[in-house]
Amino acid sequence: MSGIVRYARWQAWDFAVDRGRPSLVVIALFWLQAWIALRGAPAGGAADGRAQLAALVLAQMVPLLGFVLALFAINGIVSADRTSGAFRLLLGKPVSAAAYYGQAFALHGLGAVVMGAVFLLGFALVAAPLQPVGALTYFALYYLLLGGLGFAMSTVARFDWASTAALWVGSIMVRSMLPVDRRWWSAVVDVVLPPTHALSAAGDALLAGAMPSLADAARVLGYGALAAGFAVVRLRRRPFDE
Amino acid sequence: MIALDGVSKRYRSPFGRTTAALSDLDLRASAGEVVGVAGPNGAGKSTLIGLLLGFLAPTDGSLTIEGLPPRRWIERHGVGYVPEAPVIPPRWTLEAAVLRYATLADVPAAERPARRDAAIARLGLEEHRRKRIRHLSKGTRQRTALAQALVRRERLYVFDEPAGGLDPLWTIAFRETVAALRAPDVLVLIASHDLDELERTADRVLILHHGRLRGEVHLGERGRDGSRLRLVMHAGAALVPEIIVGARQIAADAFEVPAGDPEALNAALAALIARGGRIASLESLRSTLEQSFRDLVREEPPRE
């Protein structure tokens, strides 16, 4: 086992302290919101009103929280070390930037999903019991797509979280304006922009307890993997301080 | 070990303006040497180190360490590196920082705590070991950076202004540390403004100015032991080469003379005075490097 693999526990600890704690604050706010929305809702009976309302609230919360958790997890993953100069001592050791930050990307993804699980556990306690697999998968897909994009942005820009969020929101807006009849340029724009619509469709299916369509899942996974791959190749090929 | 052939580095601003940080640099450095790099601000020292560590890429020319591109060599072997202003995440404690760097350096788990403790003890950091980096003084942070560089035996050490934040006692300790690192298979590279420090630690010093290698001063034993004197005559300068063996004229009335045995020196000076020579001053000529530095960089005014 090499030094970089052994270093994973320190990276996991950094995630917990630097990103896990603020994530927990946001999660607590979501719990509070869920508790407010569901207080007084009747439980039990053939049509369990409370469970139905909880499912609705969860469907509203998971995409929003997925966005926040992914952004918290990926923010400054490369750019913070580059800006501060902390990379100098780290990369003086026998370790490649691609391996170091690639491992951080993977661990932060795991951390984001764990944070999602914490949210779901609390939600089950304050709102209603739920089946967590679909929502957890949604959190994972969110991280793969938005996190992959953020990882790529972090290798090229300093204000990576802002540029990632802007690209994400901009993508949603541009997609809503694309013409219905498929012209060649709108097909290009559709492929180039992050597949936010495919993520939403896959997420809706997962939260409903169904399997997402293969096309949606493939687009999300493919785009996220391509973005993360771009980041790794850039870290591998381009001098870190250029 | 290190080979630079025609290395240039130019920076381009977003508006297209180009600044040459290094121009056409040829350099060889071998294992077993301690090589200094001196130069005024903006001479290109930090750029040279950035290139050596693979954090920057040369615009022209080639740079290799044992035939490999720097980054690939470092990813394989590691380097003991202390930057000019070391940045360690402020939340980490000192002992955790050294342990983390030891982990990344692939120090075996069983040896890690002992190596950490030895490095901390060597740099006199015991009383600070549980403090967070943000609570340490500049000098203590500098020593922490040195500790992480010493946590494992490396074959290449790169120190960029290593004594910058150190007090005189730790500057002396740094000198001893460099002496202890000397080994036939180890290359130590020190970039510094401090010519006195380089003169005491390096075998040779490269002098950079405006991104070009202006010269190289081989210090050897003469430079390091401070065994030459500068003799300035008030009268009878012509007598000096005749009476003092090994005197070298460096100006019309000034000579570099070997200090040698004090009895012989006093006898020679007495003979000089007896024959009508008059001494204006006699001082230790420690800084051969300083004089060379002045000679090599003075022909051009500073850029700023």
Question: In the structure, what pLDDT confidence band is assigned to residue A133 with cuts at 50, 70 and 90?
Answer: very high
Q: Which two tokens stand for residue B185?
A: 């298979």
C-alpha–C-alpha distance, residues A28 and A134, integer Å: 21
User: Which residues contact residue B217 at a Cβ distance below 8 angstroms, ignoring those fewer than 6 apart?
Assistant: B204, B205, B207, B223, B288, B289, B292, B293
Expressed in angstroms, the distance from the first to the final Cα of chain A is 31
User: Which one has a higher pLDDT value, B285 or A183?
Assistant: A183
Q: Encode B233-272 in three state secondary structure.
A: EEECHHHHHHHCCCCEEEECCEEEEECCCHHHHHHHHHHH
With 0-12 / 13-18 / 19 or more C-beta atoms within 10 angstroms meaning exposed / middle / buried, residue A41 is middle
Band the pLDDT of B275: cuts 50, 70, 90.
very high
Nearest CA to CA, how far is A222 from chain B (Å)? 30
> Considering chain A, what percentage of its residues have pLDDT values greater than 70?
96
**B104: nearest CA partner in chain A:** A3
CA distance A145 to B17: 38
pTM of the model: 0.84
ipTM of the complex in this document: 0.87
- Residue A241: pLDDT band by 50, 70, 90 thresholds? confident
Q: Is A103 part of the contact surface with chain B (CB cutoff 8 Å)?
A: no
How far is A73 from chain B, CA to nearest CA, in Å? 18
Asked whether A47 and A39 are in contact (CB, 8 A), the reply is no
Average pLDDT, chain B: 88
**Rounded CA gap, A231 and A148, in Å?**
8
What is the least distance, in Å, from the CA of A71 to any CA of chain B? 21
B190 three-class SS? strand
B261 vs A23, higher pLDDT = A23
Give the pLDDT mean for B285-299. Answer: 69
The CA–CA distances, whole Å, from A120 to A25, A27, A115 equal 14, 9, 9
Contact A95 B101 (CB under 8 A): no
Cβ–Cβ below 8 Å for B79 and A92? yes
- CA A8/CA A3 separation, integer angstroms: 9
